[in-house]
Amino acid sequence: MKFFIDTANLDQIKEANELGILDGVTTNPSLMAKEGIKGHDAIVKHYKDICEMVDGDISAEVVSTEFKDIVEEGKKLAAIHPNIVVKVPMIKDGVKAIKWFTDNGIKTNCTLVFNAGQAILCAKAGAKYVSPFVGRIDDTGWDGVQLVEQIVHIYGVQGFKTQVLAASMRSPNHIIRCAEVGAHVVTSPLESILGLLKHPLTDVGLAKFLDDAKKLQ
Ligand code: E4P
């Protein structure tokens, strides 16, 4: 399973990358706005900076909603760096645009996916990634991981090549459960990735080992 970090914060991307386990980055307009990035040039520079830091797929989201505009915007995003994946919303014109990008050798990540039907359309259009939003489904009282499991199953049965990128992670447990059901990629905030490191018995055990090590000197 690949590990992506879900942020536009360069310090957090650097910290995750230095762990040596990072395979890519996902961003969205909300995450970019959170970093105070404003204007076309600043946006392009930010994506370039991320691409130079991490050797892997970097999702950059379009904000257009009409087919022609999505294509134009996506072409410009893809031209920033070979590792850019154009993130396209799950709408009718988005599906048409994903098919166009696929036919023209541009990688896509279909975002805002909340059911299996949407995931089937992404795969048919040839998206490299489909992003079911686990946490946002949980927020509505349903189980987001079950959707990941269902999409992984359907893609396996049908032989679809699209990779299931579990998004909207809220906890280390989400990452573990998505790994269990066969997600190809998980994208998480730094906090959830670092949360995987933690266990109180590890801390207690290490303190004891370090204490006993003093007796060896
Ligand atoms: C990533 O591709 C998504 O945009 C992101 O995971 C959404 O996460 P959120 O539900 O925490 O905003």
The residues near 106 (Cβ < 8 Å, ≥ 6 apart) are 74, 75, 78, 86
pLDDT at 44: 98
Q: Is the CB of 29 under 6 A from ligand 1?
A: no
Closest C-alpha to ligand 1, atom 4: 28
> How far is it, in rounded angstroms, from Cα 182 to Cα 93?
29
pLDDT at 8: 98
pLDDT at 103: 98
87 catalytically annotated: yes
pLDDT at 68: 98
Nearest to 56, CA basis, from 80, 81, 24:
24
Q: Is the CB of 192 under 6 A from ligand 1?
A: no
Closest C-alpha to ligand 1, atom 7: 168
Work out the pLDDT band at 23, boundaries 50, 70, 90.
very high
Q: Structure pTM?
A: 0.96
Q: What is the pLDDT of residues 27-55, one digit of tens each?
A: 999 999 999 999 999 999 999 999 999 99
> How far is it, in rounded angstroms, from Cα 194 to Cα 189?
9
Q: Is the CB of 133 under 6 A from ligand 1?
A: yes
What percentage of the chain exceeds 90 in pLDDT?
A: 100
pLDDT at 105: 98
Pocket mutation for ligand 1, best pick of 2, 3, 6, 111 (most atoms within 8 Å of C-beta): 6
pLDDT at 54: 98
Q: What is the pLDDT of residues 115-162, one digit of tens each?
A: 999 999 999 999 999 999 999 999 999 999 999 999 999 999 999 999
pLDDT at 139: 97
Q: Is the CB of 136 under 6 A from ligand 1?
A: yes
Closest C-alpha to ligand 1, atom 11: 168
Catalytic residue, from 34, 87, 161, 208: name it. Answer: 87
The residue type of 54 is V
Closest C-alpha to ligand 1, atom 1: 167
Task: Report residue 97 as tokens.
Answer: 């645009």
Q: What is the pLDDT of residues 59-94, one digit of tens each?
A: 999 999 999 999 999 999 999 999 999 999 999 999
